[in-house]
Amino acid sequence: MSLILETKGLTKHYGDFTAVDNVSISLEEGKIYGLLGRNGAGKTTIMHMITSQLFPSSGSLHVFGEEPYENNNVLSRISFVKESQKYPDSYQVKDALDVAEMFHPNWDRDYAYSLIEDFQLPLKRRIKKLSRGMLSSVGIIIGLASRAPLTIFDEPYLGLDAVARNLFYNRLLEDFTEHPRTVVLSTHLIDEVSQMLEHVFLIDQGRIILNEDAEQLRGRAFSIAGRASVLDDFIHGRQVLSRDSLGALATATVMGSISTSDRKLAADQGLELTPVSLQQLIIHLTQENKTAPKGAASK
C-alpha cells in the first residue's frame, strides 16, 4: 500500500471561525474516495489546501510525500476540477484543452478528443458562450484526460443533465480500470456515486465524523417499519438514529448490520427490515452529529 496523501491535525481558521478542524486522513494509491458533507462543511477548504491554493493554519499535509506549496513536483501530479473554474474570456474549448495539456504530463489528447465527441462539445465555441452544463463537461473532460495520479472532482457537474452525469460515471470507471489512479469525488449526489466509492470521508462542521470503507458502511445501518409497540421492543437497547411514528405505525433507523436472528425475529413480528442507502445513512449521521457535543463522534 502506497500513500498518496496524508494529513495530520490539518486545521484552517478564518479569523475566529474554524472551517477545517484537526483533520487527519490518508489516501492510498488507486482508490476512489468520496469526500462528503453538507454545504459549508469544509470540503472545498480541504481541497484548496491539498492543491496549494490555501495555507493551513496548523497541522501537516503531505502529498506524494512532500509539502504541496509552490511545489511543481507535487502540483503537476494533481488534477483539480472545480465547479466554479474560470477561463479567460477569449478562450475556446480547444484552448482550455491545450492549456491543460501543458500542465499535465500524462495528458492523453486522443482520449480528450474522444470525450469531446461523447459530451458533444463544440471545440471552437468560446467558453463564455457555453451553457452551464457544457461548461461542467469541459472540467470533467480535463479531469479525465489529464490522468493525473491524484484527480480531485469538487462538485464537478453543476447544470449537467442525468444522461451526461451517467456518461461521466461510466467514462471515469472505464478509464480508472485501465489507468488506475487516486480519485477524490466531492458531491451531494451521494446515491448516484455510492457504488463507485471505495472509501468515504464524511465531514461535518470542519471535522471528520466518518472515515470508513464504503463496503462496510453500506451494512452499517438498517430501517425498520411496523407496529409502533412491536417496533419499540425490537429497537430497545440498540443505537437508534431516528424514529418517526404515524398513528399505530412507526419507522426507525438503527445502527448495526442485520443478523439472521434479527431477520427471523422481525419477520415473526410483522416488522419490515430494509438496508439504508449511503445517502440516508449520511443524512442521519450529520443530523445526529448536530445534537452531539462537538468532537463526540470524531475519529
Residue 43 CB, shortest distance to ligand ATP, in Å, is 4
Residue 42 CB, shortest distance to ligand ATP, in Å, is 4
If phi > 0 it is left, if psi is from -120 to 50 it is alpha, else beta; for residue 202 that is: beta
Determine the size of the site formed for ligand ATP (CB under 6 A). Answer: 11
- Dihedrals phi, psi of 127, to nearest 5 degrees: -60, -35
* 143 near ligand ATP (CB under 6 A): no
Residue 286 CB, shortest distance to ligand ATP, in Å, is 12
Site residues for ligand ATP, 256-275, by CB under 6 A, read none
In this chain, which of 9, 14, 245, 256 binds ligand ATP, going by CB under 6 A?
14
Residue 40 CB, shortest distance to ligand ATP, in Å, is 4
Interacting stretch for ligand ATP, rule CB under 6 A, among 13-21, 66-74, 95-103, 253-261?
Answer: 13-21
Interacting stretch for ligand ATP, rule CB under 6 A, among 11-19, 115-123, 139-147, 165-173?
Answer: 11-19
Cell of 173: 470507471
Residue 156 CB, shortest distance to ligand ATP, in Å, is 12
C-beta neighbour count of 160 within 10 angstroms = 22
Q: Which CB, 50 or 130, lies closer to ligand ATP?
A: 50
Q: Which CB, 27 or 115, lies closer to ligand ATP?
A: 27
Q: Which CB, 49 or 148, lies closer to ligand ATP?
A: 49
Residue 15 CB, shortest distance to ligand ATP, in Å, is 7
In this chain, which of 5, 10, 19, 78 binds ligand ATP, going by CB under 6 A?
19
Residue 8 CB, shortest distance to ligand ATP, in Å, is 19
Interacting stretch for ligand ATP, rule CB under 6 A, among 14-22, 61-69, 158-166, 254-262?
Answer: 14-22
Residue 288 CB, shortest distance to ligand ATP, in Å, is 18
Q: By rule CB under 6 A, what string of x and - marks binding of each residue 35-54 to ligand ATP? A: --x-xxxxxxx---------
- Dihedrals phi, psi of 4, to nearest 5 degrees: -90, -35
Can you give the three-state secondary structure of the chain, one letter per residue? Answer: CCEEEEEEEEEEEECCEEEEEEECCEEECCCEEEEEECCCCCHHHHHHHHCCCCCCCEEEEEECCECCCCCHHHHCCEEEEECCCCCCCCCEHHHHHHHHHHHCCCCCHHHHHHHHHHCCCCCCCEHHHCCHHHHHHHHHHHHHHCCCCEEEEECCCCCCCHHHHHHHHHHHHHHHHHCCCEEEEECCCHHHHCCCCCEEEEEECCEEEEEEEHHHHHCCEEEEEEEHHHHHHHHCCCCEEEEEEECCEEEEEEECCCCHHHHHHHHHCCCEEEECCHHHHHHHHHHHHHHCCCCCCCC
* 136 near ligand ATP (CB under 6 A): no
Q: Which CB, 14 or 55, lies closer to ligand ATP?
A: 14
Residues contributing to the site for ligand ATP (CB under 6 A): 14, 17, 19, 37, 39-45
